[in-house]
Structure 1
Amino acid sequence: MKNILVIGATSAIAEQTIRLYAQQETNLLLLGRDEEKLQLICDDAKIRGAHEVNFLRLDVNDFDSHASILGEAYAKLGRIDLVLIAHGSLPNQQACQQQVSTTLRELNTNALSTISLLTLLANQMEQQGGGTLAVITSVAGDRGRQSNYVYGAAKGMLSIFLQGLRNRLYPKGVHVLDIKPGFVDTPMTADFPKGPLWAKPQAIANSIVKAVKRKRNTLYTPFFWRWIMLIIRNIPEFIFKKMKL
């Protein structure tokens, strides 16, 4: 029976992914800040068929608590077969430009907190000789754009870290999946006008479960973002710097 740890379990994408894994009668341990919402997600997962489901409270920006919380997670689950890291925030770019403290807070939330957790998890999975680390980053990390370059820089840092981690852990039987969603209709993006490129969390969750099963290295989701970002990455800088993106 598969043991799954979900960090950032109250995010819209994580919640939908939890529902899918619950139907596979897995053991689930959910980490997040909002205990009331975590309890609701746990109850829902039990109804959907999870063998066992529990939660622990975690503030990802409390770096000093990471080791102890992950220790509790391993004590509850034993071997962890899959970790999904799904937390993040969408910063106000203008606010970041005005305040260094805001920029640093967003870098902590969107990159450094995940790197801290991954460092601890990678060592444990290397020791156990297997497992999967699946991390939600973003297509925004593929190239810096004036509209969201603080967020993009954080996600780009995380993707580079995941590349190195994959290279390091592959010989140990540990798989590392970088999940790069495009525009997703979630509470975090509620104020954004929606269009044909926007996806629902349920669709993203379906693609994550399939990518984990197939041991994909990088998942652009929906699939067409791979080709959109290929074009954006290859626009020459002397042209790109003049564009309003």
Structure 2
Amino acid sequence: MHVAIMGATKGMGRALARLMAARGDQLALLGRDPEALDGSARDLEVRGGGKHQVHTLACDLGDPASFGPALAAAEQALGKLDCVVVTAGMFATQEALEADPEQALKLVTLDFANTVGFCEHARARLLAGGGGKLCVFSSVAGDRGRKPVVIYGAAKAGLSAYLEGLDHKYRAQGLETICVKPGFVKTGMTANLKPPPFAGEPEGVARRVLAAIDRGKPVVYAPWIWRYIMLVIRWLPRFVMRRIGF
């Protein structure tokens, strides 16, 4: 595939890009840190056996004006776009967000409004090319309103609903939308949090996500156990949710 990835320099995005490079996919990396992008590109070229150049393009999730030009440049560099992957985003604890309204607004803007804006550019470009795959990382935090992730969860709930709507509206036209819902994964984003017994590793999540992309599966939980954890959580009565800390 010819793939543009927003957020391939860290964590799950980096692990997914490495799997794609190793199997021969042609990649364009989008991000705001030129040094990190260049380092990731060289790593991916080695993992791909030197068969393809990995392109790097400036794109900042905080700057919507960069979205269209970056995707246009990615398509030009790759020759075509088969898939766009979005793993970039922001995380902060509920306590930190409650203590800093500006940070809370920034998180909601980046994780929902600007991510949707980026996806709209990607949607239009993929459909103009006859279709393709749009894989976006949301979160299990969006499946149910919960005490520890009130604000982050609200942003991800909106993103998940948007991606579901895209899938309903455009799959018949050739756009396969894949909504990734990671649970707790051991990345830099969660480094200061105590991992639960069922925490995942980026590499395991990436393998599961890549399989979902290949199949065009509309929703994928990773690690897999989170599908069943959240199934239980969604069915708990509201008075129970008020009492528990999950």
Structure 1 length normalisation: TM-score? 0.95
* Aligned amino acid, residue 214 of structure 1: R
Q: Which residue of 2 aligns with 1:40?
A: 39
Task: Tell me how far 1:94 sits from its aligned partner.
Answer: 2.1
1:84-104 C-alpha deviation (Å, 9 max, x unpaired): 100112113223223432221
Count of aligned positions: 244
Report if the CA contact (8 A) 1:11-1:86 is conserved. Answer: no
Q: 1:144 aligns to what SS in structure 2?
A: coil
* Aligned amino acid, residue 30 of structure 2: L
Q: Which residue of 2 aligns with 1:116?
A: 117
Alpha-carbon distance in 2 for matches of 1:138, 1:67: 25
Report if the CA contact (8 A) 2:7-2:14 is conserved. Answer: no
Q: 1:41 aligns to what SS in structure 2?
A: helix
Alpha-carbon distance in 2 for matches of 1:98, 1:221: 30
Report if the CA contact (8 A) 1:26-1:52 is conserved. Answer: no
1:97-123 C-alpha deviation (Å, 9 max, x unpaired): 234322210011211111001111111
1:54-108 C-alpha deviation (Å, 9 max, x unpaired): 1112211111222222222222223211111001121132232234322210011
Alpha-carbon distance in 1 for matches of 2:36, 2:194: 27
Q: Which residue of 1 aligns with 2:24?
A: 25
* Aligned amino acid, residue 122 of structure 1: R
Alpha-carbon distance in 1 for matches of 2:22, 2:100: 45
Q: Which residue of 1 aligns with 2:80?
A: 79
Task: Tell me how far 1:173 sits from its aligned partner.
Answer: 1.1
Alignment of 1:90 with 2:91, yes or no, is yes
Structure 2 length normalisation: TM-score? 0.95
Report if the CA contact (8 A) 1:183-1:198 is conserved. Answer: yes
1:130-184 C-alpha deviation (Å, 9 max, x unpaired): 2100011110110111111111011110000001111111111110000011110
Alpha-carbon distance in 2 for matches of 1:114, 1:42: 23
Query: Mind listing any 5+ residue stretches in structure 2 that lack a counterpart?
Result: none
Q: 2:178 aligns to what SS in structure 1?
A: strand
Give RMSD over aligned pairs: 1.3
Q: 2:147 aligns to what SS in structure 1?
A: coil
Alpha-carbon distance in 1 for matches of 2:99, 2:201: 33
Q: Which residue of 1 aligns with 2:4?
A: 5
Q: 2:186 aligns to what SS in structure 1?
A: coil
Moved more, 12-21 or 31-40: 31-40
Q: Which residue of 2 aligns with 1:227?
A: 228
Alpha-carbon distance in 1 for matches of 2:62, 2:89: 11
Give the % identical residues.
Answer: 34
Alpha-carbon distance in 2 for matches of 1:200, 1:239: 30
Q: Which residue of 2 aligns with 1:178?
A: 179
Is the alpha carbon distance of 1:35 and 1:99 closer, same or farther for their aligned partners in structure 2, counting shifts above 3 Å?
same
Alpha-carbon distance in 2 for matches of 1:63, 1:55: 18
